[in-house]
C-alpha cells in the first residue's frame, strides 16, 4: 500500500511537469532540462508498468484546472485537497500510529500570521528561521515559503523591475533554504512534502511571470527536509536552530504508543513524558528546548492540555518557559478527528517570569472575542466573570491552579448540594434514582427456564434471575413503542394502565421534555423501579457533562425513564422552583464547579458515580420556602 502511494505521488509529479512544460510560454531549453532534472533527483521509486497509466486522465485534468486558477491561494487550497486525499487513502491503522491528520488551510494561515505578529513586537528585528514539526505533506512550511518569496518579490523591486533582484541571485535561494526546515518521522510524508513544495513553487513562478535561471530551478524547493524523529535527542534538527516553530504535532495518547517507544520517551530528558501523557505534550517541550530566548512557538493542539491533571507537567513547562502565552479556541477544526482544539502560541523567556496571558475564542462563523488579557487575576473578578465565561476555568488552570479554590468557595457559599439539603431538612428530602434497567435499544428476552424477562444483550449466556444457560435462539421482544396502540388485541381492556410514557434519551438543548414513546409494564423480571417515584416532582439529568455543561431538563409527571437518566425527585415545596433549578444545573457556573471538583475535562456519563450528582451545589441558600 505504501509503495503504491509513493508511486501515486511520483506519477502526479511527473505528469505535472509534462503539463507545466507543454503549456508554458517562453521557457528556455535550459529551464526545461532543469525541470526534468528535478524529476530524476531523489526519484527512488521505480514504477510498476501496470501503474503507469493509473489515474492518468484524472491527474492531467486536475493539473490543467490547477494551472488555470486565478490566484496562488486558490491553487494552494486545491493542491492541498488533492494531497490530503492521498493521506486519507492510507490505512487507518497507519494514520493512527502516526497521529496523521491534515490541517485546514485557514488554521495554517492563522498560525503563521500570528507567529509573525508576535515576532514583530521585538525591538531588535532578526531574520526569521522557520521549522515545521511533524510536517506531514508540508502544508505549513510550503505556505511560509510562498509568503517569503512574495514578500521578497516586492521588497526591493523598482519601477523598471518586475521583481526584486535577489530572486535572480542563487545565493538568495541558498539563504532561503537555510531558513526553512521541516521534519517528519514518516518517509512518505517527507516525499509528499518535497513534491508539494516543488509543485506550488512552480505554480507561483508561473503565476508571477518570474523568469528564473536553470541554476535556481535545479535547487528547488528551497527547504531543508529532515526524515527523522523530532523527539530523538540526537536528531540532526539540533543544528538547525529555528527562531519560530509551527505545526500540527501528532495527537497520540501514551497508552497507544508502542511499549518500546513509550519507554524510550519516559527514560528521556522530557519531563512531560511521565505518567499518562500525549505525544503532543512532548513535541511542545522539545520545541521549547530548541527555541532561543524570544523564539516563538505556534501549534494546533488538543484543548485538554489546559485541563487534565495528567497535563500538569507540560502546563508548568509553558508557564516557566514563557513571557507570553496566547490561546485561541477554534471550533470544528478537524472533520475526521473527534477532539476539541486550541491554537497555542508562546514566546520563550530569557528566565522564569510571570507570563502575559491572552485567551481568545473563535466561533463557527469565524468571529473572535478576547476572553482575557493580562498577567494577574484578581479574586473579586471571579464572581463577576464566571457567569459569562465558561472558559474562565481554563484560564485559571493554566495561570494558577490554586485559583480553583476560589471557584469552589464561591459556589459552595451560594448554594446547597442535595446532601446538604437533606441534612438540614430531613422531613423534606430530595432523592435521586436511575430509571428502568434496559439496554440502549429497549429490547428484552424471556428465560425459558424461569419465565422472567431481562434486557437483551448478545453477550448474555445465563439468566440474570435463575442463572441457568439461555438459548441463543430466543427471539427478542420490543418493550418500547413509538406510539400507543390501543387496538392491540393482546392487551387487556384497561391497557392504558399497562403502559406508561417513557424517555430513553434527550438532547442537551431540551429544557422541558415531552414524549410520544411508551413502555410496556407487563413483563415480570424487568426492574421498572417503584412507579410512585415517577409521580413525583422531578428534574432529569442525562449526562453530567455535555460540551462542558450538565444536560438537565424538566419532565412531565408519570413519565418513566431509562437507567441512563438520573431522576432527581423534589418535595412539593419546590413546585414553583423547578425551572430555576434546571437553569442552575445547566449553567456555566455549575459546570465549572463540576469540572474543577470531579471531571477535569473528561466526558463523563451518569452511570459513573451516582453520588457525584448529590454533591453538586445548585439549590440557592436563599430559597424562599425554607
CA pair distance 400, 325, nearest whole angstrom: 13
The pLDDT assigned to 179 comes to 95
pLDDT digit string, tens, across residues 157-214 = 554 455 566 788 889 999 999 999 999 999 999 999 999 999 999 999 888 888 778 7
The pLDDT assigned to 156 comes to 56
The pLDDT assigned to 392 comes to 38
**DSSP H/E element including 304:** none
The pLDDT assigned to 379 comes to 37
Q: Could you report the average pLDDT of every consecutive run of 10 residues in the chain (626 residues)? A: 85 88 74 64 47 75 91 94 90 85 92 93 83 95 94 64 70 93 94 94 87 82 94 84 95 88 89 88 94 95 77 84 88 61 91 79 69 56 38 43 66 91 93 86 87 81 86 83 55 55 81 84 90 91 68 90 90 91 87 71 50 88 68
The pLDDT assigned to 174 comes to 92
The pLDDT assigned to 148 comes to 92
CA pair distance 140, 246, nearest whole angstrom: 7
The pLDDT assigned to 336 comes to 53
**Phi and psi at residue 580, in whole multiples of 5°?**
-70, -35
**DSSP H/E element including 34:** helix 29-40
The pLDDT assigned to 517 comes to 86
Beta strand 619-620 with 415-416 is antiparallel
Closest CA to 131 of 216, 273, 228: 228
Note whether 553 and 539 are within 8 A (CB). yes
The pLDDT assigned to 607 comes to 46
Summary count for the chain: helices (H), strands (E): 20, 23
Cell for 290?
530548541
Cell for 375?
498577567
Strand partners, 16: none
Beta strand 453-455 with 443-446 is antiparallel
The pLDDT assigned to 550 comes to 83
Closest CA to 606 of 547, 553, 537, 540: 540
Ordered by where they begin, the domains of the chain are 1-98+132-223 (no CATH), 115-128+243-375 (3.40.50.150), 420-436+481-620 (3.90.220), 439-478 (no CATH)
CA 560 to chain centre: 36
The pLDDT assigned to 52 comes to 56
The pLDDT assigned to 487 comes to 45
Give all strands of the β-sheet with 560-561 in edge-to-edge order.
480-481, 518-520, 499-503, 560-561
Amino acid at each position: 500500500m505504501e509503495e503504491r502511494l509513493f508511486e501515486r505521488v511520483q506519477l502526479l509529479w511527473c505528469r505535472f511537469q509534462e503539463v507545466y512544460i507543454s503549456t508554458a510560454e517562453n521557457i528556455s531549453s535550459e529551464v526545461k532540462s532543469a525541470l526534468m532534472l528535478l524529476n530524476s533527483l531523489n526519484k527512488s521509486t521505480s514504477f510498476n508498468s501496470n501503474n503507469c497509466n493509473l489515474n492518468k486522465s484524472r491527474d492531467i485534468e486536475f493539473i490543467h484546472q490547477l494551472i488555470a486558477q486565478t490566484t496562488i491561494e486558490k491553487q494552494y487550497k486545491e493542491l492541498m485537497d488533492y494531497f490530503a486525499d492521498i493521506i486519507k487513502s492510507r490505512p487507518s491503522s497507519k494514520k493512527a500510529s502516526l497521529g496523521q491528520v491534515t490541517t485546514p488551510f485557514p488554521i495554517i494561515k492563522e498560525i503563521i500570521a500570528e507567529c509573525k505578529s508576535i515576532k514583530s513586537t521585538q525591538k531588535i528585528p532578526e531574520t526569521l528561521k522557520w521549522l515545521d514539526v511533524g510536517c506531514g505533506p508540508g502544508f505549513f512550511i510550503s505556505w511560509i515559503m510562498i509568503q517569503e518569496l512574495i514578500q521578497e518579490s516586492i521588497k526591493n523591486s523598482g519601477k523598471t523591475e518586475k521583481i526584486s533582484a535577489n530572486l535572480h541571485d542563487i545565493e538568495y535561494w541558498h539563504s532561503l533554504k537555510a531558513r526553512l526546515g521541516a521534519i517528519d518521522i514518516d518517509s512518505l510524508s517527507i516525499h509528499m512534502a518535497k513534491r508539494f513544495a516543488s509543485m506550488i513553487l512552480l505554480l507561483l513562478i508561473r503565476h508571477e511571470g518570474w523568469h528564473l535561471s536553470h541554476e535556481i530551478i535545479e535547487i528547488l524547493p528551497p527547504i531543508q527536509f529532515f526524515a527523522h524523529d523530532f523527539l530523538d535527542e540526537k536528531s540532526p534538527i539540533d543544528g538547525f536552530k529555528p527562531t519560530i516553530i509551527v505545526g500540527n504535532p501528532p495527537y497520540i495518547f501514551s497508552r497507544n504508543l508502542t511499549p518500546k517507544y513509550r519507554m524510550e520517551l519516559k527514560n528521556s530528558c522530557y519531563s512531560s513524558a511521565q505518567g499518562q501523557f500525549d505525544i503532543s505534550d512532548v513535541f511542545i517541550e522539545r520545541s521549547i528546548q530548541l527555541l532561543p530566548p524570544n523564539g516563538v512557538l505556534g501549534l494546533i493542539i488538543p484543548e485538554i492540555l489546559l485541563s487534565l491533571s495528567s497535563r500538569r507537567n507540560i502546563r508548568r513547562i509553558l508557564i516557566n518557559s514563557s513571557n507570553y502565552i496566547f490561546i485561541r479556541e477554534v471550533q470544528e477544526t478537524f472533520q475526521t478527528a473527534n477532539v476539541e482544539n486550541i491554537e497555542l502560541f508562546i514566546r520563550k523567556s530569557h528566565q522564569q517570569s510571570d507570563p502575559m496571558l491572552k485567551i481568545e475564542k473563535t466561533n463557527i462563523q469565524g468571529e473572535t472575542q478576547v476572553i482575557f488579557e493580562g498577567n494577574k487575576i484578581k479574586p473579586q473578578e471571579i464572581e463577576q466573570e464566571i457567569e459569562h465565561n465558561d472558559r474562565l476555568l481554563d484560564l485559571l488552570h493554566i495561570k494558577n491552579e490554586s485559583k480553583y479554590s476560589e471557584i469552589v468557595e464561591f459556589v459552595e457559599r451560594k448554594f446547597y448540594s442535595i446532601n446538604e439539603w437533606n441534612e438540614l431538612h430531613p422531613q423534606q428530602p430530595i432523592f435521586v434514582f436511575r430509571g428502568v434497567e434496559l439496554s440502549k435499544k429497549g429490547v428484552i428476552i424471556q428465560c425459558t427456564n424461569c419465565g422472567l424477562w431481562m434486557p437483551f444483550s448478545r453477550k448474555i449466556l445465563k439468566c440474570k434471575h435463575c442463572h441457568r444457560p439461555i438459548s441463543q435462539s430466543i427471539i427478542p421482544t420490543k418493550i418500547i413503542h413509538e406510539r400507543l396502540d390501543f387496538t392491540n388485541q393482546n392487551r387487556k381492556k384497561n391497557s392504558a394502565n399497562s403502559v406508561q410514557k417513557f424517555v430513553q434519551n434527550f438532547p442537551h438543548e431540551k429544557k422541558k421534555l415531552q414524549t410520544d414513546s411508551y413502555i410496556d409494564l407487563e413483563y415480570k423480571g424487568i426492574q421498572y423501579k417503584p412507579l410512585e417515584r415517577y409521580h413525583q416532582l422531578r428534574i432529569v439529568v442525562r449526562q453530567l457533562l455535555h460540551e462542558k455543561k450538565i444536560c438537565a431538563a424538566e419532565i412531565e409527571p408519570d413519565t418513566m425513564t431509562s437507567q441512563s437518566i438520573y431522576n432527581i425527585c423534589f418535595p412539593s415545596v419546590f413546585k414553583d422552583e423547578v425551572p430555576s433549578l434546571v437553569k442552575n444545573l445547566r449553567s456555566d457556573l455549575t459546570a465549572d464547579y463540576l469540572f474543577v471538583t470531579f471531571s477535569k475535562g473528561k466526558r463523563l456519563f451518569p452511570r459513573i458515580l451516582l453520588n457525584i450528582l448529590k454533591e453538586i451545589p445548585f439549590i440557592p441558600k436563599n430559597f424562599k420556602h425554607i
